[in-house]
Amino acid sequence: MTTRLDDTHDPALMSWVETANDPATDFPIQNLPIGMFRRTGSHEAFRPGVAIGDQIVDLSAARQAGALPADVASALNACEPGQLNAFMAQGRAVRVALRRALSQGLKRGSAQQALLSSCLVPQAQAEYALPCRIDGYTDFYTGIHHATAVGKLFRPDNPLLPNYKWVPIGYHGRTSSIAVSGQAFRRPLGQLKPPTADTPVLGPSKRLDYELELGVFVGAGNALGEPIAIEQAEDHAFGLVLLNDWSARDVQAWEYQPLGPFLAKNFATTISPWIVTMEALEPFRSAWTRAEGDPQPLPYLDSAETRERGAIDITLEVWLQTPKMRENGQEPQRLMQSNYRDAYWTVGQMIAHHSINGCNLQSGDLLGSGTQSGPADDQGGSLLELTCGGSKPVRLVNGETRTFLEDGDTVVLRARCERPGFRSIGFSDCLGTVLPAPEAPRR
């Protein structure tokens, strides 16, 4: 299998930041995800940082201290305040240079320990912002188990539409309502039409749901009119985050035909704060295959490298904490677990298809993977699946039940990569809370 493993992935590599050596941490020295932070409650400008153990390397401070290579420092210096876009646009080489410099500087015995230790900020003292300016957001539908389960609710005999296995389906979403983990949003209002009613009414969604997804941030873009070839597509991916594509199912059912999602999807989207780079994910690549009998992708979506290493082994989970759980001091309860290796389309295929018509992707653009469910009934990545459309409530350990989300509910998405012979890495939590709906406007 083609690989880009190097000494930064060495499982024996240890850090002088001792919390990074804890096997349970999401952020060992082999991870080094990138985000935007500042000290909690301060009026400081948000600035770029890299997570290591329970600490953050302040990249602005490291740059000023002379702890970064000149090309990396220059790329970071070009960034506008609070935005990583200019750094992301530099492409893979600069990102790899930053990873290597920090790996060398943070490892045990490094001569740069004294220099970099002065650039650390505890994560417990930090708050986060979106890592970059997001000018474009496209949500795909690559989770075949989700597509099949939802399709069966409406078309039991023909759950997948004819184009699904040929085209990476997607739609353009709203960027202004994307927020970082910790987002609290109001239950959306929308038009609702009960099956027995003749006319719709305006009201708060009664079937509010989450969707477990991954988000792909674009690094270097492409020129308008110049498609990205599948062989180079992943070089245009900067890294991955967790993404919750909140959905008002009752609003969606009434409005989505014929043009697809609108108000049912654009009121909130939550992402985790740290971008796990494509380099950190390298040890967890695996072969990508098509099931026997399924059509093979068209040539512009197929390559030897896609076949060899297009899938990524990422365990995904959804956890729920109700207001009653919080009041009683109970931790969130895990509702399901699935794996991103089951996605029907790869990161590279999403990028290649998105640009095949000449669409110009830009640094900071966000691509959603679509809901990542597993093949079993208890692996649904949404309540719509877990409750069979609301007909079979989920029973929680404290005796409560849920068919869809209630006011005050907090949903937490989690993810981790594990493979024998390598250090496990994780994604930070992606957390969002439902607030009561606003009052409907009156005449």
Q: State yes or no: pLDDT of 219 exceeds 90.
A: yes
Residue 80's pLDDT band (cuts 50, 70, 90)? confident
90-107, pLDDT tens digit by residue? 999 999 999 999 999 999
Q: CATH code for 137-435?
A: 3.90.850.10
Over residues 270-294, the mean pLDDT reads: 96
CA geometry: angle 83, 84, 88, nearest 5 deg: 150
Q: What integer pLDDT is reported at residue 82 of this predicted model?
A: 87
342-378, pLDDT tens digit by residue? 999 999 999 999 999 999 999 999 999 999 999 999 9
For 259-263, 285-289, 381-385, which range has the lowest pLDDT when averaged over its residues? 259-263
Between 441 and 359, whose confidence is greater?
359
34-46, pLDDT tens digit by residue? 999 999 999 999 9
Q: What integer pLDDT is reported at residue 2 of this predicted model?
A: 63
Over residues 127-154, the mean pLDDT reads: 95
Q: Give 251-257's long-range contacts (Cβ < 8 A, gap of 24+).
A: 251/188, 251/190, 251/191, 251/192, 251/205, 253/193, 254/190, 254/191, 254/192, 254/193, 254/200, 255/190, 255/191
Annotated binding site for Mg(2+): 245, 265, 269
43 is an active site residue: no
For the chain, residues classed under CATH 3.90.850.10 are 137-435
Q: State yes or no: pLDDT of 3 exceeds 90.
A: no
Cβ atoms within 10 A of the Cβ of 400, count? 16
Question: Which of 9, 145, 146, 354 is flagged as catalytic?
Answer: 146
Q: What integer pLDDT is reported at residue 443 of this predicted model?
A: 67
CA distances in angstroms from 112 to 15, 106, 107, 179, 387, listed in the order given? 12, 8, 9, 35, 53
Q: What integer pLDDT is reported at residue 195 of this predicted model?
A: 86
Q: Which candidate, 169, 161, 171, places its Cα nearest to that of 143?
A: 169
In 402-421, which positions are buried (b, 16+ CB within 10 angstroms) versus exposed (e)?
bbbbeebbbbbbbbebeeee
For the chain, residues classed under CATH 2.30.30.230 are 7-129
Q: What integer pLDDT is reported at residue 296 of this predicted model?
A: 96
DSSP 8-state symbol, 275 = B
Between 81 and 243, whose confidence is greater?
243
What's the mean pLDDT when you consider all of the chain?
A: 96
Single-letter amino acid code for the residue at 430: C
Q: What integer pLDDT is reported at residue 1 of this predicted model?
A: 53
Annotated binding site: 139, 141, 155, 211, 213, 245, 252, 256, 265, 269, 371
Q: What percent of the chain has pLDDT over 90?
A: 93
Q: Superfamily assignment of 7-129 in CATH?
A: Fumarylacetoacetase, N-terminal domain (2.30.30.230)
Over residues 268-296, the mean pLDDT reads: 96
For 12-26, 242-256, 295-309, 429-443, which range has the lowest pLDDT when averaged over its residues? 429-443
Q: State yes or no: pLDDT of 170 exceeds 60.
A: yes
pTM here?
A: 0.97
CA distances in angstroms from 187 to 120, 248, 251, 267, 413, listed in the order given? 38, 9, 12, 9, 19
14-28, pLDDT tens digit by residue? 999 999 999 999 999
